Structure 1
Amino acid sequence: MDFVLPSEPRPVRLMNTVWADRGGVHDALTTPADLARWLTATGLTAAEPPATAADLRTAVTLRDALRRLAALTTDDSRAAARSALQDAEAAVHAVNEAAVAGPGRATLQLLDGKLSLRAPEPAADPGAALAVVAAEGIDLLTGSGVLNACYAPGCVLYFVRDHPRREWCSTACGNRARAARHYQRHRTTRTAP
């Protein structure tokens, strides 16, 4: 299974395990095995550790909390992108609860006279890995990136704006949005008296 937008930060990648296509809105985390694959794909675990139903519930709660807070941060009003958690206070509590369960964060290291970031070692279990995502989500939601909602027709994804002119999560969504505008423009001129 491929996960969407693999170049985005891990909290955004977790939020984007809810995605949409012409068939509707889908969830990429429906089984503990899906969670184990996602943790490995994001580099949080060295191998696919066995994930439990409780780990899956934790991941889905964290994802829904991050999506709710992302909607708050980006003024996202897309109905299809709504999170199962509608209370922002509950979302903050869920993210904080997940974050405190984890191992140490990234640290600084001095190599050859230069400072560099040393990422934490891959987690041994899904709970610790999700705590890393929660901590990264806290950093993301409090200003370390410009989080945006993709308003292309039918899209429910979030992305970090890495260029001032970026409006959509992907070129496919940009093309879909431009095509929809073109269609709407030509449709209204044809129907006008």
Structure 2
Amino acid sequence: MIKPRSEDTSLALDLASTIRHDGNGGVLDELTSTDGLAAFLSRVGMPDVPATAGLLNRVVEVRAATRALFARAVEPGPASRADAHRLMPLPDAVATINAYAALAPVIPVLTWDTIPSSHLLPPFGAKPHEATLAGLARATIDLLTGPRRADLRACTAPRCVRYFIKGHGRQEFCKPSCSNRARAARHYERQLSAARED
């Protein structure tokens, strides 16, 4: 079962964020091994799904389609630097997400603590790998067709390759460290320009 997400998180963003900057100007891919997949599945609330090589390949395919769709959703803003040169074609990305979303049916379940809410569960006996892939693909569909799509952005900080949901009107970066890095890069550029003029 995929744990319910809070308002400020998204399973699709978590998946897309398995590609991130490595802190040294490069890009780190967290999904290059079954151990990386197991860590991701645990982090997003699916620790009981066996992390096999076959599932890893399919999750990476869902991620590629998700990031390709995110790149198009943020237009006319820039795509993530990690995606700009290797985007899956739009028809292929849509077909991939739709195919994976259809792998496992879901059952809507009503819960009522203080207010009514719902979440989707795979039916009893669903194959864990198919339910996982379907859940990841449906998370992408939900984000791209929901009200938060308008706030989806690619972080423009130097070296950052993440997508994020803008939390307030003037937010430009995915997190404070990216804002600091961008400010430092602008300061360095101004210093360099001033030195050239002298």
Q: TM tier, shorter chain?
A: 0.7 to 0.9
Alignment-mate amino acid for residue 163 of structure 1: H
For 1:54 and 1:40, the matched residues in 2 are separated by: 18
Matched, 1:126 2:107: no
The equivalences for 1:3-82 within 5 A come to 8-21=9-22, 22-43=24-45, 45=46, 47-75=47-75, 76-82=78-84
Alignment-mate amino acid for residue 15 of structure 2: L
Alignment-mate amino acid for residue 97 of structure 2: V
| Gap runs ≥5 in structure 1 | 1-6
For 2:65 and 2:81, the matched residues in 1 are separated by: 16
**Residue 80 of structure 1 aligns to a residue in which SS?**
coil
For 2:112 and 2:181, the matched residues in 1 are separated by: 47
Conserved 8 A contact 2:64-2:88: no
For 2:117 and 2:80, the matched residues in 1 are separated by: 39
String of CA shifts for 1:30-53, please: whole Å, max 9, x gaps. 12232122112101x2x3432222
Residues 65 and 83 of structure 1: is their aligned pair in 2 closer, same or farther, counting only changes over 3 Å?
A: farther
Moved over 6 A (4+): 121-124
- The alignment's C-alpha RMSD in Å is 2.6
Alignment-mate amino acid for residue 184 of structure 1: E
String of CA shifts for 1:127-148, please: whole Å, max 9, x gaps. 3122112111101112331211
Residues 177 and 165 of structure 1: is their aligned pair in 2 closer, same or farther, counting only changes over 3 Å?
A: same
1:136 to 105, 122, 139: 139
TM-score of the superposition, structure 2-length normalised?
Answer: 0.81
Conserved 8 A contact 1:153-1:176: yes
Residues 138 and 124 of structure 1: is their aligned pair in 2 closer, same or farther, counting only changes over 3 Å?
A: same
For 1:41 and 1:121, the matched residues in 2 are separated by: 19
Matched, 1:166 2:168: no
Alignment-mate amino acid for residue 83 of structure 2: A
Percentage identity across aligned positions? 37
Alignment-mate amino acid for residue 74 of structure 2: T
Shift of 1:85: 4.4
Residues 65 and 11 of structure 1: is their aligned pair in 2 closer, same or farther, counting only changes over 3 Å?
A: same
Conserved 8 A contact 1:39-1:126: no
Mean Cα deviation higher: 128-137 or 118-127 = 118-127
